[in-house]
Amino acid sequence: MNSTSRRTFLKATGAVAAAACMGVGRLAAAAVNKPIGLQLYSVRNLLPKDFDGTLHQLSAAGYKEVEAAGYYNKTAAEFRHSMDQAGLRCVSTHHPLGVLRPQLDELIEYGHALGLDYMICSSSVRRDPSLKGPLTLDDWRWVASEFNRIGEKVKAAGMTFGYHNHVPEFGTENGVVFYDELLKRTDPKLVVFELDCGWISASGHDPIAYLSKTPERFPLLHVKDMAKGPDGKFHSVVMGHGVVNYHPILRAATGLKHYFIEQEEFTSDTMDELRQDAEYMRTFSV
C-alpha cells in the first residue's frame, strides 16, 4: 500500500471507529436518559401510613415512574388517581407466581385499568406446592411453561409479561443454570426479563454477559447497589455506596425502556436515602 492509499485508509477506518464510538456513546446515554423510576417495595413501610403523602414526597424527590408491589386495598381507579395527583406514572407491577396463577384474570383486569405496560412475576413456586426446598430444574422448566401461558394472556390484554430475578435463579443442576433455562424455554414474544442488577451481582454472575447477549429481552432493570455487611451477606445500600458498577451495565443495556431504583434496607431516614438514590441517577453518566 502506498503512502497516499495508507493515509486514505487510516482516515476512513478512523472515521468508522469514531462513528462507532459515537454510536456506543449515544446508546449509553440513552440507557440513562430515562425517567427516574422507583420500585414501591422501597416504601412498603410508609405507604400504609400515608399513601398519597408518600407518593407526593417521591415525586418531589425526582421520581417520575413507579413499579407497584401491592395495591394497598385500593381500586384501580383509586390507585391511578393517587398516581396522577402525585405526578407519577405506574408503568409496571410485581406479583408472585403463587398469586398470579389463581388470580390472573382479575389482576390483568386491574392492571389494564391502571394503565400498566408491564406485569412482572416477582418470585416462583414449585410445581408441587406440597414439596419443600428450593426449586429443581424440572420445577424451573414448568415455571417457564407457565410464563408462556401467562404471557400470552397478558399480551392479549395489551401489556407485556416478564420475570424479575433474585439469587435462586442462578443456581445450577447438572451444569444447567436455572436462569439460562428460563431464557431458553420462554417465548421472547411473550416473556421479557427484568434484570435485578443487585441480586445477580450478589449471586456471583455477570449482568453484562446477559445484557450483551440478548439486550432486547431486558427492557426493564432494577437498579440496586449492594454491599457486604458484618454478617458476610450482601445488603441493599444507597446508590454509589456498594460494589455494583453501573457504568458498564448501563452501556450494555441497549434494550432498556425503563429502570426502577430499589433499595430494600435503610440505615437512616428512608425518604432521605431515596432522595440520594434519585440524585445519584439524575447525575449519573457513563
Q: Are residues 22 and 144 in the same domain?
A: no
Residue 14 has pLDDT above 90, yes or no: no
- Percent pLDDT > 70 in the chain is 89
Q: Are residues 90 and 26 in the same domain?
A: no
Same structural domain, 118 and 2: no
Q: How far apart are CA 218 and CA 259, in angstroms?
A: 10
pLDDT at 194 over 50: yes
Q: How confident is the model at residue 286 (pLDDT cuts 50, 70, 90)?
A: confident
Question: Number of H helices and number of E strands within the chain?
Answer: 10, 12
Which residues are CB-neighbours of 239 under 8 A, at least 6 positions away? 223, 225, 261, 263, 276, 277, 280, 281
Same domain assignment for residues 103 and 220: yes
Same domain, 84 and 18: no
114-123: average pLDDT: 98
In this structure, the answer to whether residues 60 and 147 fall within a common structural domain is yes
Per-residue confidence (pLDDT) for residue 30, from 0 to 100 = 39
Residues 25, 128 share a domain:
no
Q: What is the pTM of this model?
A: 0.89
Measure the CA–CA gap between 119 and 55, rounded to whole angstroms: 20
Minimum mean pLDDT range among 13-17, 104-108, 163-167, 243-247: 13-17
Q: What pLDDT band is residue 33 in, cutting at 50, 70 and 90?
A: confident
Q: Are 211 and 145 found together in one domain?
A: yes
Do residues 39 and 124 both lie within one domain? yes
- The beta strand positions in the chain, using DSSP E, are 37-39, 65-68, 89-95, 118-121, 160-164, 172-173, 176-177, 191-196, 220-223, 225-228, 234-237, 258-261
Residue 29 predicted with pLDDT over 50: no
List the domain range (segments joined by +) for residue 162: 35-282
| 125 & 24 share domain | no
| CB atoms inside a 10 Å sphere around CB 64 | 16
CB atoms within 10 A of CB 9: 11
**Residue 285: its pLDDT value, please?**
84
> pLDDT tens across 221-279, in order?
999 999 999 999 999 999 999 999 999 999 999 999 999 999 999 999 999 999 999 99
- Dihedral (C-alpha) 238, 240, 244, 249: value to the nearest 10 degrees? 120
Mean pLDDT, residues 124-153 = 97
Task: Categorize the per-residue pLDDT at 8 as very low, low, confident or very high, splitting at 50, 70 and 90.
Answer: very low
C-alpha cell at 215: 439486550
What percent of the chain is predicted at pLDDT more than 90? 87
Of 29-43, 210-224, 228-242, the range with the lowest mean pLDDT is: 29-43
- Same domain as 133, residue 16: no
Helix 270-282 with 51-61: angle, nearest 10 deg: 30
Give the pLDDT of residue 269: 98
**Domain count of the fold of the chain:** 2
